[in-house]
A and B are shown apart, each in its own frame.
Chain A
Amino acid sequence: MNIKNSNIIVLVSSILLVVGFIISIVNTMVLVSPTEHIEGSWKEISWEYEKTESGNTNKKISDAIKTEICKELIIHEAEVWNFLAGGNLELTSNTNNETLSWTMKGRGNILELSHKTNKIEHYNIQILNNDKMVLYFSTDIQAKGIVKMTFEKIKEDSYAQKI
């Protein structure tokens, strides 16, 4: 490769890098961030094991085990999670209402929940879009493994009608 070609390659790569950086910065300002995506109400759809150490093929988590797992967590047993813009999270169920604080870490892939008692928990955000949210967290209740929680976004209209 001659010097002229090398110079062109260096110049083009440098321009591409700088343009890529500018596009990235613009994207972070224009695109919907995970923080904005998560705001609103989410309904719990399912709880299942993503991975277990026991090698059990039945990944569905029964209500009894879910209750056991929830005893160890600050989220308890909620059916609807309402993420408010100010950083509060309202957990609503038939029997209980609770308010926690939420924030995101990393590149928006970690959900941090904190309780008034200063207890903090982290959930891995696997999927987050307009309709669906999937959270992972580790547990060692009953079977050591990773629990997958799936949520469905409650659209503004239907939620307003419901309440």
Chain B
Amino acid sequence: MLRKFSNSRTLKDNIQLGALSAFSAGMVNVTSLIIFFAFTSNVTGHYAILAEEISKGNWYQASVVFAWIFMFFIGNFISNIIIINFNHKNAYAAHSAPLIIEIICLLAVGYYGHFYYRETLSETEIMVGTMLFAMGIQNGLTASISNFSVKTTHLTGLTTDVGILTAMFTKKKYRQNKQLRSKFNVLLAIAAAYLAGGIVAGVIYYEAKFLVFFAVSAVIGFIILYEYYKLKVTKYIRIKRTIKLRKGILETT
């Protein structure tokens, strides 16, 4: 999932990365909606709200919404700065670092919310901003390393693509196109995972309140650890294969 970059990624890589990160995005979005009455995994609505607040002359609310949009932007910016500058040195580390920042943000929200949250408006605004930053980081990472084919928090674009592909599949020549079918599978996996994440978070929230953010962090942590494990296994297999090959060469000579 995290080791490969752009065009070297397989369908399986994209489905795994898309589904797991969409699952966590769904969890974050539904939780923030329940607790803070604000979306945190998408900014389309925030742009509409920003325009509405400006037209009403509500400058305080407009400023808050602009700051939220900026937090999402800066999250995308930071994750891509890390990828661009460190990808050639260590792809796995460059792709894991943004996820670690995301985990730190979500744990901070969960910890603060659980122990200190007094339900004031300024706390709400800061915590929503932090979550938008975390989601920006995740979206920027997944979009960038999948060559823009996986956007885990952008379900408007995803639904548009599903609509377009469904229309294309009414023609046989498009149904037989393996690339289009693969893209359709990735999109469906993301949509299903996002929805499932939202439902799971909703259920966990009513039992564990802010601790749901620890569960989201665990899902993201799983992505990092799974890749680390795969990396180790791949390295081990490669070493074993090399040894076997060398042994074979020595025996023949």
A residues adjacent to B (C-beta < 8 A): 17, 20-21, 23-25, 27-28, 31-35, 87, 103-110, 112, 122
Cross-chain contact A104 with B60 (CB below 8 angstroms): no
Q: Choose from B37, B59, B67, B70 the contact partner of A105 (Cβ within 8 Å).
A: B37
Q: Chain A's interface: helix, strand, loop or mixed, by majority?
A: mixed
Chain B residues within an 8 Å CB radius of A32: 60
Cross-chain contact A34 with B61 (CB below 8 angstroms): yes
Chain B residues within an 8 Å CB radius of A33: 60, 121-122
Instruction: Using CB atoms, name the residue of chain B closest to A20.
Output: B66
Cross-chain contact B121 with A31 (CB below 8 angstroms): no
Cross-chain contact A24 with B64 (CB below 8 angstroms): yes
B residues adjacent to A (C-beta < 8 A): 35-38, 49, 53, 59-61, 63-67, 70, 73, 119-122, 124-125
Cross-chain contact A34 with B70 (CB below 8 angstroms): no
Cross-chain contact B73 with A31 (CB below 8 angstroms): no
Cross-chain contact B63 with A31 (CB below 8 angstroms): yes
Q: Choose from A20, A106, A108 the contact partner of B60 (Cβ within 8 Å).
A: A108
Chain A residues within an 8 Å CB radius of B66: 20-21, 24
Q: How far is the CA of A35 from the CA of B118 in the complex (A)?
A: 14
Task: Return the 9 tightest CB-CB contacts between A and B, nearest first.
Answer: A27-B63, A106-B37, A24-B63, A105-B37, A24-B67, A21-B70, A31-B60, A103-B119, A104-B121
11 further A-B contacts with Cβ under 8 Å, apart from A24-B70, A25-B63, are A21-B66, A23-B63, A24-B63, A27-B60, A28-B67, A28-B125, A33-B121, A104-B121, A106-B38, A108-B121, A109-B61
Q: Shortest beta-carbon distance, B37 to chain A, in Å? A: 4
Cross-chain contact B70 with A107 (CB below 8 angstroms): no
> A20-B66, A24-B70, A103-B119 are contacts. A110–B37 as well, Cβ < 8 Å?
yes
Q: How far is the CA of A34 from the CA of B65 in the complex (A)?
A: 14
Q: How far is the CA of A34 from the CA of B59 in the complex (A)?
A: 11
Q: How far is the CA of A131 from the CA of B125 in the complex (A)?
A: 25
Chain B residues within an 8 Å CB radius of A23: 63
Q: How far is the CA of A34 from the CA of B61 in the complex (A)?
A: 8
Q: Shortest beta-carbon distance, A5 to chain B, in Å? A: 22
Chain B residues within an 8 Å CB radius of A28: 60, 63-64, 67, 122, 125
Q: How far is the CA of A108 from the CA of B53 in the complex (A)?
A: 11
Instruction: Using CB atoms, name the residue of chain A closest to B124.
Output: A105
Q: Shortest beta-carbon distance, B59 to chain A, in Å? A: 6
